[in-house]
């Protein structure tokens, strides 16, 4: 299958929509952690607005990520920007795939803990925040490096749809 020239409008909306939802999870995740502590200590379930928000945003990330994977398979993604060292291309792709693992693994471990009462899944889920923050730092710095230093228009690829 020939690679498309750029990302489609749907792929771009899904990318930024998921980014906003994940940011919400990072900023307000503490409320879910508090509700989880209360549940494991007393068995009481506190369904506050932020707890509902965490569950709905998390499940949305899972569904949107699956949709994105479908689009990757059905339509494809553009080839890496030409002229980059091989290692840089591999590192960029590795970060993208680890992000996919998180977009799917985080909601699944969260649900296994919350709905299935699997304590170990809760422990794994509780470590997701620093991993996302570190990956995001690398991802954003790489995008800015391309945009500001290399001036190869990488950021625009995730902004303007192309066939
Ligand atoms: C992309 C999806 C998700 C992300 C990025 C995410 C992220 C987070 C973060 C950052 C925390 C706070 C951790 C802390 O400060 O200790 C947290 C806690 C928690 N989340 Fe999620 N979450 C997601 C989806 C879900 C879903 C769908 C559920 C369940 C329905 C869920 C259930 C929980 C539970 C039970 C905790 C408390 C666990 C603990 O603190 O060990 N999460 N989540
Ligand atoms: C948690 C938030 C984010 C996640 C999970 C994420 C994930 C991804 C993934 C998986 C890709 C690969 C393309 C695809 O499969 O659709 C990608 C591409 C991209 N992301 Fe993000 N991203 C996030 C936030 C950001 C932010 C804040 C920026 C802005 C600086 C950004 C800029 C880009 C760019 C420019 C590309 C295109 C790279 C290329 O074409 O090689 N992302 N992102």
Is residue 2, in this structure, part of any structural domain at all?
A: no
Q: Is residue 4 part of a domain?
A: no
Q: Whose CA is nearest to atom 13 of ligand 1?
A: 126
Cα of 131 to ligand 2 centre, how many Å?
Answer: 15
Distance from Cα 12 to the centre of ligand 2, integer Å: 9
CA distances from 143 to 4, 33, 47, 68, 153 (A): 20, 31, 38, 20, 9
pLDDT over 90 (residue 2): no
Distance CA(91)–CA(89), nearest Å, equals: 6
Cβ neighbours of residue 118 closer than 8 Å, sequence gap 6 or more: 112
**Angle at 75 (CA atoms; ends 108, 155), nearest 5 degrees:** 80
Query: Cβ atoms within 10 A of the Cβ of 157, count?
Result: 19
Please report the pLDDT score of residue 163 as a whole number.
78
Q: H-helix or E-strand containing 135?
A: helix 128-144
Q: Which tens digit of pLDDT belongs to each residue from 19-60?
A: 999 999 999 999 999 999 999 999 998 899 999 999 999 999
List of residues 6+ apart from 157 with CB closer than 8 A = 6, 7, 78
Q: pTM value?
A: 0.96
The residue whose CB lies within 8 Å of the most ligand 2 atoms, and thus the one to mutate among 19, 149, 160, is: 19
Mutate which of 17, 19, 21, 29 for ligand 1 pocket (most atoms within 8 A of beta carbon): 29
Helix, strand, coil percentages (3-state) for the chain, rounded to 5, are: 75, 0, 25
User: What is the average pLDDT value for the chain, to the nearest integer?
Assistant: 96
Q: What is the pLDDT of residues 53-91, one digit of tens each?
A: 999 999 999 999 999 999 999 999 999 999 999 999 999
What per-residue confidence (pLDDT) applies to 67? 98
For 140, the domain range is 9-157
Who contacts 25 (Cβ-Cβ below 8 Å, separation ≥6)? 54, 57, 58, 61, 106
Task: Give the residue, by CA position, lying nearest to ligand 2 atom 28.
Answer: 140
Assigned domain for 33 exists: yes
Ligand 1 atom at shortest distance from the alpha carbon of 108: 27
Number of domains observed in the structure of the chain: 1
How confident is the model at residue 35, as a pLDDT? Answer: 97
């Amino acid at each position: 299958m020939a690679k498309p020239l750029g990302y489609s409008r749907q792929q771009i909306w899904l990318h930024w929509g998921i980014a906003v939802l994940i940011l919400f999870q990072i900023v307000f995740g503490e409320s879910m952690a508090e509700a989880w502590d209360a549940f494991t200590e007393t068995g009481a379930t506190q369904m506050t607005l932020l707890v509902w928000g965490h569950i709905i945003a998390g499940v949305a990330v899972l569904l949107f990520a699956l949709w994105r994977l479908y689009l990757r398979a059905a339509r494809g993604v553009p080839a890496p920007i030409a002229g980059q060292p091989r290692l840089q291309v591999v590192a960029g792709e590795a970060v993208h795939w680890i992000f996919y693992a998180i977009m799917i693994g985080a909601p699944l471990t969260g649900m296994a803990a919350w709905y299935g009462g699997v304590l170990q899944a809760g422990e794994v889920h509780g470590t997701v925040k620093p991993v996302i923050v570190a990956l995001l730092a690398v991802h954003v710095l790489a995008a800015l490096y391309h945009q500001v230093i290399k001036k190869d228009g990488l950021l625009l690829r995730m902004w303007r749809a192309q066939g």
